[in-house]
Structure 1
């Protein structure tokens, strides 16, 4: 297995092309870079078709990204039509009937973050890490925390991650409104800073407006901190998998009372020394991926 590079993808020899987020291939930080990547993607798709190289796609998301151009949508739809096998991260992911699918649970991040120094949890601190996008609901987290009354002393909120747009960054800063309890770190996080934000939090909150699979939740659990997630079938399965006291769920809109009650539940609950991530080991995950590649080649 080799990691992706445009040179390797276009000029190299390989049997299977495995893509996780095809939208990254057709995007860029400037109009020129985006146009170049889209042209390279067309060439790549032509090569894969000409040489009969099957595409394997991991289904992180269940639909196309929102707010993309017609050209991006077209290219992603071509990727979907050319996909020979889908790897879904949980058995609840719907896959088009024409596609073969296998289920491979998302691996944990314990070994990835092991080299980095962990912090002690600061009493009363809520945390958020990850890319800041509209669907992830970071604005609602800031609003809910800011609405916690002053008779709840010692509570703080620390948010780290790069916003998808400058407008979104401004919105979050405006909502924080100079509240001294809220610390914003709106940039691409290094692994060491991410570990510090997560492990210094008593409870990490991921208030996604839509959540189907979450590497963020697994990151938090891999670092040994409880996480608050929206209530849905996938997250209920995660709660059952990792054991009590690690995953907390809320229904409806995220409000101040939700945060306060969840923190009280964390403090009063009983949990094991670490969450049960035994199904997420990379040895097993690697074996299942190899089986998937062999299946699509056969």
Structure 2
């Protein structure tokens, strides 16, 4: 959009940019439609009027180490929402998770459902299952304008991966069947269970690569101890920059996501965007995604991950590198258009309050 053009809408996005290309892809798609998207800060929110405040992962704002700090953060964000609503700003929440993955102080966990869903005017879920779960957990959303708008693919976010053999060679790996865990290593992602399941595989011509930075409550030395006597397991416990992502995903035959709990997963779309098969639990939105892309690309298991599930994934994985996962349902042009349409949808709760009561 030309800087001299008047934007169709002026949107403040939290966050607009970050480690996740989802945010950049969404903002770019909106901006191609004449929407101006600014990166959120409290100063920016107070400085000018916005048509839309679009919030992703509110727990990033509200996380605190004590109940007192949690109270302050909730009050600060709540007061900002109140001011923006007086200005006529619509507040859109994309419900990526029903609850934060990391524990918050009890006061913060109690405060969030009391006010945040009520303060929003619009809500986006990434799947039909996600919308139903959000409405059940947060009944206040039933009076809001809602839409199901899927998570987009990552095909335009990274360079194209080379062949599996080339990627493995550049990473110093042997050319053998490769399971990969990729991403930040956090407790809910259940990496120790993956290690244990892999260790029980009675096969020598396989390897497991774990690539990502350990997060809160995950100790590097403990992970290294878990794999110390199994030379088939390779650890790269550090942040993976964007230019190296295609190497790791490209090296994989199957990307394994052993989550304990999950509603949505960008990691699934990252693997599928490189045409790599995924093994993941039968939870949250994943069955709905499987129905779109097919079981050959997304294998789901019940219960806790075990070596039998890894064997099943080996048998069903797509080895032909010329095959492409159909991700047409997750195209960013359509996602940007549907997001814009929701932005332009009226505030149902405000309309209902203004409407006269029906005649008896």
TM-score by length of 1: 0.86
**Which has the greater radius of gyration?**
2
1:10-39 CA-to-partner distances (Å, cap 9, x unmatched) read 3232111111111112247999x9999667
1:98 aligns with 2:98: no
Provide the aligned length of Structure 1 versus Structure 2. Answer: 294
Q: Show the counterpart of 2:121.
A: 84
Superposition CA RMSD, Å: 3.0
> Which of residues 210, 218, 240 in structure 2 aligns to 1:159?
210
**How big is the shift at 1:179?**
2.6
Q: Show the counterpart of 2:299.
A: 248
Q: What is the distance in 2 between the residues matched to 1:233 and 1:34?
A: 28
1:295 aligns with 2:348: no
Q: What is the distance in 1 between the residues matched to 2:70 and 2:39?
A: 18
Q: Show the counterpart of 2:224.
A: 173
Q: Structure 1: 5+ residue runs without aligned partners?
A: none
1:91-121 CA-to-partner distances (Å, cap 9, x unmatched) read 11222333331111111110111x3544525
Stretches (4+) displaced over 4 A = 28-31, 33-40, 269-272
Distance 1:56 1:124, change over 3 A: same
Q: What are the within-5 Å matches in structure 2 for residues 1-298 of structure 1? A: 1-6=36-41, 7-27=43-63, 41-42=77-78, 44-70=80-106, 72-73=108-109, 76-77=112-113, 78-93=115-130, 94=132, 95=135, 96=139, 97-113=142-158, 115=159, 117-120=161-164, 122-149=175-202, 152-232=203-283, 234-266=285-317, 273-296=323-346
Q: What is the distance in 1 between the residues matched to 2:296 and 2:303?
A: 21
Q: What is the distance in 2 between the residues matched to 1:196 and 1:141?
A: 21
Report the more deviating stretch, 16-25 or 131-140: 131-140
Q: What is the distance in 1 between the residues matched to 2:275 and 2:46?
A: 41
Q: What is the distance in 2 between the residues matched to 1:54 and 1:170?
A: 47
Q: What is the distance in 2 between the residues matched to 1:271 and 1:201?
A: 11
Report the more deviating stretch, 199-208 or 7-16: 7-16
TM-score by length of 2: 0.72
**Does structure 2 retain, via aligned residues, the 8 Å contact 1:128–1:198?**
no
Q: What is the distance in 1 between the residues matched to 2:223 and 2:304?
A: 17
**How big is the shift at 1:90?**
0.6
